Amino acid sequence: MALTLHKCPCCGQRYYDGTPHQCPPPPSPPPPPRSPAANDDVYLLYAVLLGLIGIVILALKASDPTTGVSPVVLVAAVFWCAVNAVIGGAIGAWRGRPGFGIFWGMLAGPLGWLVVLLSADARRRCPWCQMVIPDAAVVCGHCTRQLPQT
């Protein structure tokens, strides 16, 4: 007796004659869309303003001979803020929020890096396999499922 292979019209699975077939449950619906990430342009503007205010204050302190602050301190402080901002921006870009990273890196240094690292990821993820996908993707490159329109 030969077995005939059939294809289920509902789910597309193949099964043989006499084999019980039950369609799998449909995939779980994608989670509700998260609120959009905070606007990074605002954080970038805050970081620039913070840097400018800091430079002005340090320049005023360095130009006043009664305070005893040397110009070397000014250069070191500006360099320290710039390095922290670059590292925070790199961590923020890795999490999908570069302006947020620049702001917190400049404001709080290594503690700001930790804030950015532990913040919510703003990159788009597949609702089924949770892998990072491009914003314009229609099909997930990892699990090959159709993505919902956003």
Whether residue 113 is contained in a domain is answered as yes
Q: What is the pLDDT of residue 36?
A: 46
3-class state of residue 94 by DSSP: helix
Whether residue 131 is contained in a domain is answered as yes
| Same domain flag for 66 and 112 | yes
Whether residue 13 is contained in a domain is answered as no
| Same domain flag for 85 and 137 | no
Whether residue 9 is contained in a domain is answered as no
Transcribe 15-64 into DSSP letters: EETT----PPPPPPPPPPPPPPPP-HHHHHHHHHHHHHHHHHHHHHHHH-
Q: Which domain holds residue 92?
A: 40-118
Q: What is the pLDDT of residue 83?
A: 92
How does pLDDT run along the chain (150 residues), one tens digit per residue? 567 888 888 878 888 887 887 887 877 776 655 544 546 677 778 888 888 888 788 777 777 777 667 777 778 888 888 899 999 989 988 888 888 888 899 889 999 999 999 988 878 888 888 888 887 888 888 888 888 876
